[in-house]
Amino acid sequence: MSPKTPLLGPAEYFASADDPLPVGMAVFALYVLATVGLGVVSVALLATQPADPPATVELLETVGHVVFITGIDLGIAIAAVTIVVHRFSGGSFDGTIGWTLAVVGWSYAPNLLAVPIELAFTIAGNLGESDASAIAVLDLGDGHVAFSSTGVAPIGLIPLLAVTIWSVYIIGYGVAAANDVPVRSAMGVAILVGIGSLLTSLL
């Protein structure tokens, strides 16, 4: 019996799946929504920090900025990872790239499962007493406050490593099974992508 998700058996799942793209994209969409939600929570918590809280209009503009930037960043990320993994693992561009996209979409499932941990780090850090948030307050000097958003709270090194390794596992074995390419080549590219993702998260 084939697994219902590729979280623990990506090779078996993608080898037997009929059309994994809709569900893979749904997982990715849920992660985007969860990440946007984390950004909104971060902004809301940050708004309680200044002695003179920003106006509602400023908060709404900041939330809009977080939503826009998050959507653009993650959209570029999934497209870039899909193309790189598909091309350098030996996949052909004869229609099978949709399967690679499904695999990469599913690779965001570990990140989605880590969202509660990210939320806990965000709240525990209190957005100002530690480095738990990448959203900073910019004092404009005239009583106005602006926000600079470069992301949401990191999840800590150990959970981050676990999420990255899990995602690499899904991509490596998933792409190999979905596109009928050697596990060695697919996993090699997946590891490079994972290293890049890890370094980006730590910077």
Q: Using one digit for the tens of pLDDT, what is the confidence trace for 137-159?
A: 433 344 433 334 444 445 578 88
Asked, for residue 90, whether it belongs to a domain, the answer is yes
Number of folded domains that form the chain: 1
Q: Supply the range of the domain harboring residue 37.
A: 10-202
Asked, for residue 37, whether it belongs to a domain, the answer is yes
Give CA torsion, residues 95, 98, 101, 102, to 10 deg. Answer: -140
Asked, for residue 120, whether it belongs to a domain, the answer is yes
pLDDT confidence band for 102 (50 / 70 / 90): very high
3-class DSSP state of 149:
strand
Give CA torsion, residues 174, 179, 185, 187, to 10 deg. Answer: -10
* Cβ neighbourhood burial of 97 (10 Å; 0-12, 13-18, 19+): middle
The per-residue pLDDT of the chain, averaged, comes to 81
Distance CA 82, CA 60 (A): 33
Is the confidence at residue 21, as pLDDT, over 70?
A: yes
pTM: 0.81
Cβ atoms of 78 and 105 within 8 Å: the answer is yes
Is the confidence at residue 2, as pLDDT, over 80?
A: no
Asked, for residue 101, whether it belongs to a domain, the answer is yes
Asked, for residue 1, whether it belongs to a domain, the answer is no
Is the confidence at residue 167, as pLDDT, over 80?
A: yes
Asked, for residue 5, whether it belongs to a domain, the answer is no
Asked, for residue 2, whether it belongs to a domain, the answer is no
Query: Which residues partner with 136 through β-bridges?
Result: 148
Asked, for residue 3, whether it belongs to a domain, the answer is no
- Of 90-94, 102-106, 151-155, 162-166, minimum mean pLDDT range: 151-155
Cα distance between the two ends of the chain: 42
Mean pLDDT over residues 15-20, rounded?
91
Distance CA 89, CA 182 (A): 8
